[in-house]
Amino acid sequence: MPAQGESGNGRVTINEVGLRDGLQNHPRRLGVAEKLELYRALRISGLHSFELTSFVSPKAVPAMADAAELVAALPPEEGVNLTALVPNRRGYARAREAGMRGIAVVLAATETLNQRNIGMSLDRAREECAAVLRQAAADGVFARAYVAAACACPYEGPTSPDTVIALAEEMLAAGADEVAIADTIGAGNPRQVATLFRSAVARCGAGCLSAHFHDTRALGVTLSWVALQEGIRKFDASIGGLGGCPFAPGASGNLATEDLVFMLEESGYRTQVDLPALMAAASLAGRLLGGQVGGRITPWYESRHRSRNIESNGTNQGQARGGD
C-alpha cells in the first residue's frame, strides 16, 4: 500500500519511552536485569530509539536510581539512539559520566508544573534547560527538549499554543536537536492538537519536532494521526501503555507502542517494528510487572491468535498471547 502523508515520506520513527516514562511511577520496581530483559525484547521487535532512564534525584524518583548501572549493563550496539532524561546540569554530568551520548531536558509550559516536577520556576527551568542544551551542543551530544503540559497543565488548566511554541523555539535556539511536544496528562483534543502542531510545524519545521501523547482519555492514537497529518514523523510511545508522571496528577498511561505501530502500519506507514515481537515484549512487561499491561489492541490481537490456534491445531490449548 502506498504511504500516506503530505510529505510522501511514509517512514515514521518511534521512540520507546517505556523504560523511563513507563516505569518511573510504577508500584512494582524493576531491577537492572529485568529492565535489560525488557529492553532486549523491545530491540528484537525492531525498535531502535529509546529513552532509557533518567538521571534525576533518587529521592524524587526511586525507580530511576539505577540509571548508571543500567547504562553500564547495556550491550554495545551501533545504530541505536539512546537518550536519558536529565532535569539539570547535575543530571547531565551524571549521564555523561555513565556514557550517554543522548539526553532529554524537560521544561513544562507552566509555572506550577515546573515547580512540582523539578523544583524550579518557569524562568529558572528555561535557563537550566538552555544551559544543558548549550553544553550538549558543545559536547556533540544529541539533545531533545520536552515541552510538557503542551495541551493543559494539571494545576493551571489549558495551555496557550503560543507559549508552547515560543518555548520550543527557545530550546531549539539553545541547541536542542529536537523538541518533543508533550501532552503530559492526555488532555488534548483533536482540533486543539491540529492547531498546535500546524503552528509548531510552520514556525519550527516538522523535522525537529516529535509528539508525545498519553492515552488518558482514549485519544492517543487519534491525536497521533492528527499530528501525523500535520507532518510529524517522530512519536514517543510506551510499551503496553505503561506510564505517568508522579508529579502531574491525572497523567495515566502513555500511548501504547503497539497501538501506535498497528495504526501506522495499517495506514501504510513504515515503522520497522514487528508487531508480534512487540506484543511479546508487552506480555513480558506484564509478567515482570505482575499486572494488566497492554494497549487497546490487546484483546483483539489475543482473540485473533486464539482463533488461529484453534483453526490450525483443532484445539484451544495453543498460545494465548501472540508472539510469545
Beta bridge partners of 153: 157
Report, in Å, the least distance between residue 303 CB and Zn ion.
29
Chosen from ligand COA, Zn ion, none, partner binding at 255 (C-beta under 5 to 8 Å by type): none
Q: Can residue 21 be called a binding residue for Zn ion (CB under 5 A)?
A: yes
Q: Can residue 57 be called a binding residue for ligand COA (CB under 6 A)?
A: yes
CA distance 29 to 21: 13
CA distances from 24 to 56, 61, 243, 280 (A): 11, 6, 7, 22
Q: Can residue 186 be called a binding residue for ligand COA (CB under 6 A)?
A: no
Q: Identify whether 153 is a catalytic site residue.
A: no
Q: Can residue 90 be called a binding residue for ligand COA (CB under 6 A)?
A: yes
Q: Is 236 helix (H, G, I), strand (E, B) or coil?
A: strand
Report, in Å, the least distance between residue 26 CB and ligand COA.
13
Cell reading at 32? 537492572
CA distance 55 to 286: 25
Give Cβ neighbours of residue 241 (< 8 Å, ≥ 6 apart): 215, 253, 254, 255, 256, 259, 293, 294, 295, 296
Instruction: Select from 48-56, 129-137, 285-293, 299-307 the region that touches ligand COA (CB under 6 A).
Output: 48-56
Residues 260-279 that bind ligand COA (CB under 6 A): none
CA atoms within 13 A on the CB side of 145: 33
Query: Would strands 157-158 and 178-183 be described as parallel, antiparallel, or unpaired?
Result: unpaired
Cell reading at 117? 516536577
Q: Can residue 119 be called a binding residue for ligand COA (CB under 6 A)?
A: yes
Of 129, 153, 204, 245, catalytic:
245
Q: Is 138 helix (H, G, I), strand (E, B) or coil?
A: helix
Q: Can residue 247 be called a binding residue for ligand COA (CB under 6 A)?
A: yes
Report, in Å, the least distance between residue 273 CB and Zn ion.
19
Report, in Å, the least distance between residue 185 CB and ligand COA.
12
Q: Interface with Zn ion by CB under 5 A: which residues? A: 21
Q: Interface with ligand COA by CB under 6 A: which residues? A: 24, 54-57, 60-61, 85, 87-88, 90-91, 94, 106, 117-119, 245, 247
The residues annotated as belonging to the active site are: 245
